[in-house]
Chain A
Amino acid sequence: ELQLVESGGGLVQPGGSLRLSCSASGFTFSYYWMTWVRQAPGKGLEWVANIKQEGIDKYYVDSVRGRFTISRDNGKNSLFLQMNNLRVEDTAVYYCVREGGGWYFDLWGRGTLVTVSS
């Protein structure tokens, strides 16, 4: 079964760090670009970052560049998002997403909630 399962969310204070993980199964993980998309409570979707198959090419939304790092381990079918210097406005459900061959997302995880609050 095609599946993406996120973990690592939780409550963190402003300025703190958190590392999200995403475990992929049911497909050849190394063949795909992977992406993190977030959704603040009651708000719309926001693209956060993506990473190419080999893990070298990476792109970020301006608001997280320099604070977040996307990475992957193809041997372990895993995607990561290291989040440093977290801000209140980073509070959101973070989705691990597979890019289907272009700039579209054909497989989504259930999401993990990150809450940044003092």
Chain B
Amino acid sequence: QSALTQPASVSGSPGQSITISCTGTSNDVGIYNSVSWYQQHPGKAPKLIIYDVSHRPSGISNRFSGSKSGNTASLTLSGLQAEDEADYYCSSKTTSSTLLFGGGTSLTVL
């Protein structure tokens, strides 16, 4: 199975909003509300920021939000801050009872 499709990179200025897309198929993103998003800073373990498409874990800023339409999920980050510069990964359950990650998106805060 191929990885979910994410843009390799996105960028934005402080205070702006950005959106990262995550495109799968009808065998994963399109059929399950099990899309999650992770933030990973260099040299660190990933951190859960969104689960079940749009839910934020305790302690995660409400500047992060998630949504899904058809086979594509999206992560929106509003009010960009320098500390948001990191890699972001989406994931989804599949019909094979496995999990796929996206290829990752590098966010640059200009």
Contact = CB atoms under 8 A, between A and B. Distances in A.
Interface of A: 35, 37, 44-47, 50, 59-62, 95, 100, 102-106, 108-111
Contact of A47 (B52, B99, B104): B99
B100 A103 contact: no
Given A103-B92, A104-B36, A105-B36, A44 B104 contact: yes
B48 A106 contact: yes
A44 B1 CA distance: 15
B2 to A, nearest CB: 11
Nearest to B55: A104
Contacts of B71: none
B98 A100 contact: no
Interface string B1-23: 10100000000000000000000
B101 A106 contact: no
B34 interface: yes
Interface of B: 1, 3, 32, 34, 36, 38, 40, 45-48, 51-52, 57, 89, 91-93, 97-104
A61 to B, nearest CB: 6
B102 A44 contact: yes
B45 A95 contact: yes
Contacts of A100: 48, 51, 57
Contacts of B100: 47
Nearest to B96: A59
A44 B34 contact: no
